[in-house]
């Protein structure tokens, strides 16, 4: 099923085209290579006249800096590795957003982002590493890395950026109570990971007492959540706190199928706020992870380590925000 049609074909002379180097620019501008280098890196040290001459030459020749040469000379590559250890199938939409934000922010700072999917390969020519989806079993490998490093999610022995998961769930509870829901149910994850535990802890927080019998822990699957919720006898004015938007969506389906009025009789609030919350028959009310702020924090912490040439291990915690949708009552 392949269609080939060679309309235009030209060779890349000598491997690549456009091999204008700093020497070519220097010749064209009748100055030394160093002067050209200074125009690029320390323009304040160059006289206005020469600066203009060199700039003109650069434009005329279409000179583009060769990063390999610079990397070799400066021992800096202006490249950051983003290592994505999560299973994409499980975290899909979140991944796309995070990687995009990080790439954009790094780009603005003059860096390039490489994408890696494993810690096993050697890293070459990078100035630092960002990691998402690391587990405890990755600790040894992470600690063996000799690069500036920031992880997403708490990690021993490494700088990290994380969301305050417990605070997020407390926010969710408060919102449901404020909206007049009287009985709270928790649809949680049966995962043995730190964030899952923290979200459960948030639900168990004593400020708003809850009934231990109303806590369920299942896999992060909307179909399973739907089945579970369909077995429950939901009293009027029930508020469902789901540990993820995906679970919340399952609860919503259950209500829809069983003719429960959402948000009048049952309120549903999810967690994450990334794509999935808007994929239901109703837009979910959710606790939104501040992905852009997460990306910014990860990058700025990493660049600080690079600049200071010191590896530090701060644990930066960001508070998620309530994002109103159509599955809870509110003004």
Partner DNA sequence: TTGTATGCGTTATCAA
Partner DNA sequence: TTGATAACGCATACAA
| Contacting positions for DNA (CB under 7 A) | 19, 21-23, 31-35, 37-38, 40-42, 45-47, 49-50, 63, 65-66, 68-70, 72-75
> Strand 321-323 vs strand 285-288: parallel, antiparallel, or unpaired?
antiparallel
Of these, 79, 155, 244, 327, which contacts its own copies (CB under 8 A)?
Answer: 79
Dihedral (CA of 307, 311, 312, 313) sign: positive
Of these, 24, 104, 138, 139, which contacts its own copies (CB under 8 A)?
Answer: 104
Cis peptide before 107 (omega within 30 of 0): no
- Residue closer to DNA, measured from CB, 30 or 117: 30
Terminal-residue alpha carbon distance, the chain? 56
Shortest Cβ 311–DNA spacing (Å): 20
Is 45 a binding residue for its own copies by CB under 8 A? The answer is no
- Residue closer to DNA, measured from CB, 33 or 311: 33
Shortest Cβ 52–DNA spacing (Å): 10
Query: Using an 8 Å Cβ cutoff, are 142 and 151 in contact?
Result: yes
Query: DSSP states of 155-209 as a string?
Result: -TTSEEEEE-HHHHHHHHHHHHHHTT--EEEEEEE---SHHHHHHHHHHH-TTS-
Query: Using an 8 Å Cβ cutoff, are 231 and 197 in contact?
Result: no
Shortest Cβ 56–DNA spacing (Å): 14
- Determine the 3-state secondary structure of 104 from DSSP: helix
Is 291 a binding residue for its own copies by CB under 8 A? The answer is no
Shortest Cβ 128–DNA spacing (Å): 18
Is 212 a binding residue for its own copies by CB under 8 A? The answer is no
- Picked from its own copies, DNA, none, the partner binding residue 41 (CB below 5 to 8 A depending on kind) is DNA
DSSP state of 16: S
Shortest Cβ 21–DNA spacing (Å): 4
- Residue closer to DNA, measured from CB, 51 or 205: 51
């Amino acid at each position: 099923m392949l269609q080939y049609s060679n309309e235009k074909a030209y060779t890349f002379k000598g491997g690549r085209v456009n091999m204008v180097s700093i020497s070519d620019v220097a010749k064209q501008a009748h100055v030394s290579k160093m002067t050209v280098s200074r125009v690029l890196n320390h323009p304040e040290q160059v006289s206005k006249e020469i600066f203009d001459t060199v700039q003109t030459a650069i434009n005329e020749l279409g000179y583009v800096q060769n990063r390999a040469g610079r990397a070799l000379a400066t021992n800096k590559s202006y490249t950051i590795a983003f290592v994505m250890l999560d299973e994409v199938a499980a975290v899909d939409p979140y991944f796309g957003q995070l990687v995009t934000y990080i790439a954009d922010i790094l780009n603005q700072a003059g860096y390039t982002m490489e994408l890696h999917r494993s810690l096993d390969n050697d890293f070459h020519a990078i100035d630092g590493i960002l990691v998402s989806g690391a587990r405890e079993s990755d600790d040894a490998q992470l600690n063996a890395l000799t690069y500036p490093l920031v992880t997403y999610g708490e990690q021993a022995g490494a700088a990290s950026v994380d969301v305050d998961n417990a605070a997020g769930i407390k926010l969710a509870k408060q919102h449901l109570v404020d909206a007049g829901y009287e009985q709270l149910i928790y649809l949680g994850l049966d995962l043995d990971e730190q964030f899952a535990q923290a979200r459960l802890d948030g639900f168990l927080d004593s400020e708003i007492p809850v009934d231990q019998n109303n806590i369920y822990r299942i896999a992060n699957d909307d179909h399973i959540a739907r089945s579970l919720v369909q077995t429950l006898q939901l009293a009027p004015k029930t508020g469902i706190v789901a540990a993820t938007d995906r679970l919340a969506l399952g609860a919503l389906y259950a209500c829809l199928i069983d003719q429960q009025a959402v948000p009048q009789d049952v309120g549903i609030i999810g967690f994450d706020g990334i794509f999935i919350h808007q994929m239901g028959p109703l837009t979910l009310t959710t606790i939104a992870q501040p992905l852009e702020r997460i990306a910014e924090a990860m990058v700025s912490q990493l660049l600080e380590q690079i600049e200071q040439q010191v590896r530090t291990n701060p644990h930066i915690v960001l508070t998620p925000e309530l994002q109103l949708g159509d599955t809870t009552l509110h003004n």
